[in-house]
Amino acid sequence: MKKSINTYGYLYSASASTEKVGRSAEEGSFYQYMASLVFSAFTLEAYLNHLGFQVLGYWKHIESLSPIKKLDILSEVTGAEFDKGARPHQTIAELFKFRNEMAHGKSLFPSQFRGPDDPWWLDYCNEENASRAREAVEQIINTLNRESGVRDPWTFNHESY
């Protein structure tokens, strides 16, 4: 039997691991939570691609859509229902806003500040948000997995045979 590599499983483990390290040592925890948040976003993005290729023959043509649009499409196709105004969807929308800020980071100079001196995401990188984001990713993945009929027996694992 051939082995499958589940990229989203590795990314999920990276999210969980960095969050755990952040909780265990206050020094540097900001960066651990930042990493955990980014890895949580990457986890869901990778899972959406994982599932999309299995349930939609044309996924390669829409793979470049935003993760939120992919989630909306896969929710519709699988019948999974998420209230966009509540958790976990609301948490995911915030997480991808953060992910985009990090992926397309820009320096801010004093002349650009309007109000508080620090960008919003500096306060976002904390234990509560890292934990909430990872839990929301778990809920979304578990729901999509259940509703899709694909029933990956190895959800959140790195590999399967």
Question: Cβ(16)–Cβ(134) under 8 Å?
Answer: yes
Residue 43 tokens, joined: 């986890």
What pLDDT is attached to residue 46?
Answer: 96
Please name the residues in contact with 16: beta carbons below 8 A apart, sequence gap of 6 or more: 36, 134
What pLDDT is attached to residue 161?
Answer: 39
The C-alpha angle 22, 42, 47, rounded to 5 degrees, equals: 125
Question: Does 2 have pLDDT greater than 80?
Answer: no
What is the average pLDDT across 59-79?
A: 97
Pick from 74, 159, 10: which is nearest to 18 by CA?
10
Give percent of the chain above pLDDT 90: 76
Question: Does 69 have pLDDT greater than 70?
Answer: yes
What is the average pLDDT across 115-144?
A: 92
What pLDDT is attached to residue 158?
Answer: 63
HSE-up of 67 (CA within 13 Å, CB side)?
23
Distances (CA, A) of 54 to 47, 57, 82, 99, 105: 11, 7, 21, 25, 33
Which of 5-9, 98-102, 106-110, 137-141 is least confident? Answer: 106-110
Average pLDDT, rounded, for the chain: 90
What tens digit of pLDDT does each residue of 72-129 get?
Answer: 999 999 999 999 999 999 999 999 999 999 999 988 777 666 666 678 999 999 999 9
Domain borders along the chain are: 8-104+119-150
Question: Cβ(22)–Cβ(39) under 8 Å?
Answer: no
Residue 11 tokens, joined: 């990314």
What tens digit of pLDDT does each residue of 150-161 get?
Answer: 866 566 666 553
